[in-house]
């Protein structure tokens, strides 16, 4: 594998307005609406889909992603954890509870790889925060 393996992420939500408020407050950014994709075939249903994209630059390194509300897909804890890079994860973590989320595991050291924190958003999704300080 020549490049970083992750190229996109989606965080599923039930209440888009609530989730948008959480992520915009915690990460101090503005999420932008994206149009639902056209179905590849008649049996590929895309109805009932709402998407908000995190700020991204397709020409820069890193991974883009979005919040998605889609009929039949539920948010919540599972087998995948998305980590958001930040300057200091303690600073970002400090905004989580005021935005309606919960701190699952406060900032902790991971040796020479920096620091992490685990938080839960308003939809029940656990996300990671990572920083080098």
User: Does 3 fall in a domain?
Assistant: no
Domain count, the chain: 1
Q: pTM value? A: 0.84
Highest mean pLDDT among 34-43, 64-73, 75-84, 103-112: 103-112
Distance CA 43, CA 79 (A): 28
Q: Is residue 2 part of a domain?
A: no
98 is a domain residue: yes
Structure tokens at 83: 């980590």
- pLDDT above 90 coverage of the chain, percent: 64
CA distances from residue 45 to 12, 36, 70, 109, 127 in whole angstroms, order as listed: 17, 11, 10, 44, 28
Give a yes or no: residue 1 inside a domain: no
Taking a C-beta distance cutoff of 8 angstroms, is the pair 74, 107 a contact?
A: no
User: Mapping DSSP to helix (H, G, I), strand (E, B) and coil, where does residue 47 land?
Assistant: coil
pLDDT at 18: 97
- The burial of 119, by beta-carbon neighbours within 10 Å (0-12 exposed, 13-18 middle, 19 or more buried), is given as buried
Residue 82: count other Cβ atoms within 10 Å of its Cβ.
Answer: 14
Q: Which of 37-46, 72-81, 123-132 has the lowest mean pLDDT?
A: 37-46
Quote the tokens at residue 68.
């998605």
Mean pLDDT across 64-93:
89
Read off the tokens for 81: 């954890």
Q: In this structure, is residue 83 part of a structural domain?
A: yes
Indicate which CATH number applies to the domain containing 66: 3.10.180.10
Q: Where are the beta strands (DSSP E) in the chain?
A: 8-12, 32-34, 49-53, 64-70, 83-85, 102-109, 115-120, 126-131
Residue 17 has pLDDT above 80, yes or no: yes
Question: Residue 28 belongs to what domain range?
Answer: 8-131
């Amino acid at each position: 594998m020549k490049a970083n393996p992750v190229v996109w992420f989606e965080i599923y939500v039930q209440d888009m307005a609530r989730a948008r408020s959480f992520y915009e407050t915690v990460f101090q950014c503005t999420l932008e609406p994206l149009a639902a994709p056209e179905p590849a075939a008649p049996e590929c249903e895309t109805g009932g889909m709402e998407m908000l994209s995190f700020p991204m630059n397709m020409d820069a390194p890193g991974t883009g992603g979005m919040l998605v509300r889609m009929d039949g897909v539920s948010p919540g804890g599972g087998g995948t954890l998305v980590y958001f890079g930040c300057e200091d994860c303690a600073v970002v973590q400090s905004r989580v509870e005021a935005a309606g989320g919960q701190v699952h595991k406060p900032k902790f050291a991971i040796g020479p790889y920096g620091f992490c924190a685990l938080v839960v958003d308003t939809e029940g999704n656990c996300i990671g925060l990572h920083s080098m300080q």
